[in-house]
Structure formats: structure tokens, C-alpha cells
Amino acid sequence: MAKLRAQYVCQSCGYVSPKWLGRCPECAGWNSLVEEMARKAGASAVGASQAVALSEVVQEEVARIRSGLGELDRVLGGGLVPGSLVLLGGDPGIGKSTLLLQLLQGIASDAKQPVLYVSGEESVRQTALRARRLGATAPSLLVLSETRLDAILAEATRLSPVVLAIDSIQTVQAPELESVPGSLSQVREAAGRLLSFAKERSVATILVGHVTKDGALAGPKTLEHVVDTVVHFEGEAGHPYRILRATKNRFGSTNEVGVFEMQSEGLREVANPSALFLAERPIGASGSAVIAALEGTRPLLVEIQALVATAAGLPRRAALGVDPNRVSLLLAVIERRAGIDVLGQDVFVNVAGGVRLSEPAADLGLIAAIASSAARRPVDPRTVCFGEVGLAGEVRAVAQPDLRLAEACKLGFRRCVLPSPNAERSSVRGDLELVGVRDVEAALDALLRPG
Ligand code: TYD
Ligand code: MG
């Protein structure tokens, strides 16, 4: 049996110290170190291991467990892999439990073996109520309301389910550790044992992890190295749209996204998100630009809105859906390279529909929306743009222009302002007029109509 010894672990960053400290040397948080028990690695007997030639390893095609929700299966790389451990992260209330139940229902509806949903947050009755609303009533979908790790593993061993889902990992309790559920050592211990269970019995296991307000998967953050796949469920409060994003996937590509809409009877897949995100776009108003973004392999047309207003006092800045630092940088570029006065003004930026954009290809759209608002000149509603913008005001090429252009064509856009190198090499034509630009000035000339 491994020995237990005390250690002090920072609850916000995971820093470990042998003695208590008032302030964490790693993240400078006050009073964040908590005593936890750690297992001391005992001297273990070393068994023989033999290396094999990579070329001689037989490749088996892994049979994926599909949920039937296309958006979800694609993000997972084609479905769940037996024996894999998946972390599903997201803010409380975003819809993780809902998504999980719908996923499990999809699998249970044509599986012979049971599918086990363990809830540490809701009673069996509460879960059943929700499941009924979602139509998750397959006979082989079983629910267990339990927080003790040993009891969960015992029941999972007995049932031998195809999929085991734990909602959430922060509620699971390993009784041999003294710290409270949700603390780093508890979460790590529980995940470690669930990982062994998943691998030994080849059960696809899904762990739900709540994200803290600052966006970090507290506790679960430390699990990202352990699990095979990390998917995040995101969305803005008050918007019905939810985006599922893979940030790590040992069994598929990362950065795939799935788009869902939260409705009263659960999550609905959105097959054509571009049309949805553009549906309520104001036509002919200044401060709005459409960009052709790319989420994984999927092109997505989204509207960026900006409002530039006279500042009363210190200029204020707010950015929703894009990195505020990126906006600050682009404001400086607009001021210096395009000669539009924005640095002294209030600037508000928003990505419509609660979408979050992280790729630099959105730069040109941000610049267009901000300059459009500042100059009170609308962007032509049938024009779309994309491109990365550098500090010298140059417009740089981005990846996969053809995918973006094809999506713009499909949605009836007539003109696209894009980096020159992308325009020169593009093979998509159709009805789309391509305007290649080399700098911000040329881009704004092409984008902004005289108002
Ligand atoms: P939930 O799945 O409980 O979120 P999480 O597990 O991430 O904390 O979903 C919570 C929200 O979703 C809740 O505010 C109500 C809403 N909701 C719907 O709008 N429709 C539905 O069918 C369900 C089940 C939930
Ligand atoms: Mg939940």
C-alpha cells in the first residue's frame, strides 16, 4: 500500500509546497495553499518491458461509438473511442449535462450493453425529469446518483457499460484523501482511477468539468494532460447558440467545432451556422462587417460589430468574442496606418451570436467594422472579408482561403476582400469577385462605401 504524506497545494494554480505558505510563489495568490494528502510512490517491483519496431505494429481500425449527433461525433473525431477518457468542460449552466444526456441517449438507443450516467449533482428523480424532457428514455440508459468513487467504480464494474459518464468530476470523492471534493488532489485521484478503469476495461469514459469564472478549468485544468480528448462547450449568457470545440484530441483533429442551439426540448444541431449567425444582420448600417472565419475545417461566416463613440473622459474599450488585446493592437494600426482617429474614442466590439473568434484572419473584419463605425460609412452588405493584419498595416495571407470563399459563395456574397497572395492562388471563382489587398488602406478603400 502506498504511504500517505501531507503537502500543501495551491488551489488556483496547482503549485505544491512541503510546508504551508501564506502566498503562492507561483501565482501570487494569497491564502490559496491547502493541506492535501499525497500518495508517496512506494518502491515497486520493475517488470520486464520489451520494445517493438513501430513498423511491425499492426494497425487496427478502431470502431467508434457514434451518438448520432453529427456535430458532436465530428468534434470527437468520428465518435467516441472505446477505452478513451474525454473531458467535457464548460461554464456552469452552459448545457453540459444536457449535451451529455443527449449523447448517451444516442448511444443507448442502439447499443445492447448499458450506458451509465453518474450524476453527483442531481438526484435520480431530477435527472429522470430532465431526461424525459429530452426524450432520453432508452431502456439501456442507466442513471446512478453517487459521489463516492469506490461506489461508482464498483457499479461500473458490475454493469460493464459501453460508455461511462461522470457529471461532474468535481463532485467525486475519493474517501482515502482528506481534502474536500473538487480540490486538486481529489480531482486528480478520481481521474487517475477512472483512467485506469477506462483503459483496463476498454470503456469510453466522459468526465464533466466545470470551468471557473476566469475561464480556467480549475482542478480539471490539471487533467488536460491525463485525458485523451478535451472538449469545451461554450456560449455567451443570454444567447441560445453553443459551440463545442475540441482543444486536444488523441483520436482526431483538434479545433473542430460543432454548433448547437439550446431550445426548450434540449440542444438542436445547427447544420448551417453561417446562415444562422447572419440572419439578424442590420443591412446598410455602419459598424458591421462579415468575415469568413474558419473553425477547424469548417468555414463560418460571422458578423463583427463595432461602435466608436466620443469618449467622455478616459476612452473606454470593451470586446466580446474577440481578444481585447488584439483589438487594442488593431486600433493603433487603424490610427497610424489608415489615419482614422480612434485611439481617443470609446470603442466597443462584439461578435454577433455569441461566437468567439480566435484566429488572426478575423483582423480585417475587426478593422473594417471599427473603421466603418468611426467613418460612419457602411460596408457593402454583399461583401465579406478576411485576412491577418500586421503592425505595419500589411494584410497577410491566411490558411484555407478556398474553404472560406466557397462558404461565402454558398451564402450569396458577391465580393470578397482578402490578402493578395490568397486571391492570386485561389481557384474558387463562381460569382464571387475577389479583391486582393496588400495593406489596410487598400482594404478599407475596397470595403467602405461612401455613406
Ligand atoms: P445544464 O445542462 O444543466 O448545464 P450544465 O450541466 O453545463 O451546468 O443546462 C442548464 C441550462 O440549460 C438551464 O439554464 C436550462 C437550459 N435548458 C434548456 O433551455 N432546455 C433544455 O431542454 C434543458 C434540459 C436545459
Ligand atoms: Mg450539469
Give per-residue pLDDT as tens, 120-152: 999 999 999 999 999 999 999 999 999 999 999
- Beta carbon of 219 within 6 Å of any ligand 1 atom: no
CA-proximal residue: ligand 1, atom 21 (nearest) = 266
- Beta carbon of 97 within 6 Å of any ligand 1 atom: yes
Answer yes or no: are the C-beta atoms of 86 and 204 closer than 8 Å. Answer: yes
Q: How far is the CA of 282 from the centre of ligand 1 (A)?
A: 30
Is pLDDT above 50 for 416? yes
Give per-residue pLDDT as tens, 212-229: 656 565 566 778 888 999
Instruction: Please measure the distance between the N-terminal and C-terminal CA atoms of the chain and give it in whole angstroms.
Output: 77
Q: How far is the CA of 92 from the centre of ligand 1 (A)?
A: 9
Considering every ligand atom, which ligand is closest to the CA of 167? 2
d(CA 16, CA 320): 35
Ramachandran angles phi, psi of 173, nearest 5° = -125, 125
Residue 329 burial (C-beta neighbours within 10 Å; 0-12, 13-18, 19+): middle
Q: Where is pLDDT greater, at 22 or 1? A: 22
- Alpha carbons within 13 angstroms on the beta-carbon side of residue 350 total 14
Q: How far is the CA of 98 from the centre of ligand 1 (A)?
A: 6
Compute the mean pLDDT over every residue in the chain, rounded to the nearest whole number: 88
- Beta carbon of 93 within 6 Å of any ligand 1 atom: yes
Is pLDDT above 60 for 1? no
Give per-residue pLDDT as tens, 88-126: 999 888 999 999 999 999 999 987 889 999 999 999 999
CA-proximal residue: ligand 1, atom 1 (nearest) = 95
Q: Where is pLDDT greater, at 3 or 346? A: 346
Is pLDDT above 60 for 45? no
Q: How far is the CA of 168 from the centre of ligand 2 (A)?
A: 7
- Beta carbon of 265 within 6 Å of any ligand 1 atom: yes
- Beta carbon of 239 within 6 Å of any ligand 1 atom: no
pLDDT recorded at residue 276: 79
Q: Domain 63-270, CATH 1.20.1290.10 — does that match?
A: no
pLDDT recorded at residue 255: 67
| Domain assignments of the chain as residue spans, ordered by start | 4-39, 63-270, 275-448
Closest CA to 230 of 97, 99, 95, 87: 87
CA-proximal residue: ligand 1, atom 23 (nearest) = 266
- Beta carbon of 135 within 6 Å of any ligand 1 atom: no
Given strand 266-269, what is the order of strands in its sheet?
A: 141-145, 115-119, 163-167, 204-210, 85-90, 229-234, 241-249, 257-263, 266-269
Q: Show Cβ contacts of residue 181 under 8 Å, excluding neighbours closer than 6 positions.
A: 120, 147, 170, 171, 172, 173
CA-proximal residue: ligand 1, atom 2 (nearest) = 95
Coil, strand or helix at 98: helix
CATH of 275-448, one of 3.90.1660.10, 3.40.50.300, 3.40.50.720, 3.30.230.10: 3.30.230.10
Q: How far is the CA of 219 from the centre of ligand 1 (A)?
A: 23
Least confident of 138-152, 226-240, 409-423: 226-240
Segment 149-156 mean pLDDT = 96
Q: Give DSSP secondary structure letters for 292-346.
A: EEEETTEEEEEEEEEEEE--SSSPPEEEESS-HHHHHHHHHHHHHHS----TTSE
Q: How far is the CA of 396 from the centre of ligand 1 (A)?
A: 41
